[in-house]
Amino acid sequence: MMMLNLEQNYEKMAIDQLRGYKRLVGRIKMLEKYPVSGGMRLGTIVQDGQLQDLHRQWRKLATSGADQEALRSTEAKIKALLEGQLGTSDGYQGILARVSELEELGRQKEQMEQAMDALDDFKHEYAQVLKLLYVDGNEPHDIACDLGISLSTFYGWRRKALKEYGILIS
């Protein structure tokens, strides 16, 4: 009974994450195109290695409970960098919040893609089923036809694929 609950938990985690993949990718695209100032987009700013380094340092200081002076100093460096890039410091904290979100979403996307790659490496047909169903949005009948399998085989593979994917992401 406990093993069945564990398998169901893996399946639920996998389904929840896979169903959110398209939304996550869409949000990343929207954030990258977010207009900041002077015709610049957030994606352009995020690519700046110096800003990323400062932002990582700031986040580390903020989460570790470091002294306020070190935090303010790092914030001032970020603000100065953004002023230089954008010509203004208006809303730099809003920009930082979006940068944080973009970085976190990027990490989530990378984790999902690594799990799918790992699944593909040891059970290609399982990865195919999950990608076709959850990422591409195809119907089970169409997937079964495309793969040349019965619908019952499709559902069996889907169940096993969700379990394996769930184990990989847990």
Q: pLDDT digit string (tens) for 84-121? A: 666 555 566 777 788 888 889 999 999 999 999 999 99
Handedness of CA 67, 68, 72, 73 (dihedral sign): negative
Spatial CA neighbour of 141 closest among 117, 158, 164 = 158
pLDDT at 13 over 70: yes
pTM: 0.71
Q: What tens digit of pLDDT does each residue of 135-164 get?
A: 999 999 999 999 999 999 999 999 999 999
DSSP state of 136: S
**pLDDT at residue 24, rounded to an integer:** 92
- What is the average per-residue pLDDT within 2-14? 73
Q: What are phi and psi of 123, to 5 degrees?
A: -155, 80
**pLDDT at residue 84, rounded to an integer:** 64
Arithmetic mean of pLDDT over the chain: 83
Q: What are phi and psi of 148, to 5 degrees?
A: 70, 40
